[in-house]
């Protein structure tokens, strides 16, 4: 069964460093997303991406964040100048269409020290 794949599963970085989280969405899906879940809190929407551009972003997704689809398979989230409060589980998700079932990856646990 097709699945969303995320790497790495766990990343530890020093405050102020840049990190890139990687995702391979399901191959015939057209809508891609990043969400985050701070420990003990709700899963929060960060950004949606369609047709090679951002279609919607939350107020969390400020200039510190960027997304890219560098080739036909990968979808990345870059976090510049990481802060302690960026520590969270980051989930990538994809959908075939905007209102179909969403599939999530296993997440990348980001720890900023």
Positions that interact with another protein (CB under 8 A): 6, 31, 33, 35, 41-45, 48, 50, 55-56, 89, 91, 93, 95, 97-107, 109
Smaller CB separation from another protein, 45 or 74? 45
| Bridging pattern class, strands 103-104 and 43-50 | unpaired
- Going by C-alpha positions, the residue among 19, 24, 17 that lies closest to residue 103 is 24
Smallest separation, CB 87 to another protein (Å): 14
Smaller CB separation from another protein, 93 or 110? 93
How many Cβ atoms sit within 10 Å of the Cβ of residue 66?
Answer: 14
């Amino acid at each position: 069964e097709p699945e969303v794949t995320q790497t790495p599963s766990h990343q530890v970085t020093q405050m102020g460093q840049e990190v890139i989280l990687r995702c391979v969405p399901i191959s015939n899906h057209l809508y891609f997303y990043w969400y985050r879940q701070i420990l003990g809190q709700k899963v929060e929407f960060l950004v949606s991406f369609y047709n090679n551009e951002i279609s919607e972003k939350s107020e969390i997704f400020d200039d510190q964040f960027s997304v890219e689809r560098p080739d036909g398979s990968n979808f990345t989230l870059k976090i510049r100048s990481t802060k302690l409060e960026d520590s969270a589980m980051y989930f990538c998700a994809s959908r075939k269409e905007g209102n179909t079932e969403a599939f999530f990856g296993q997440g990348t646990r980001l720890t900023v020290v």
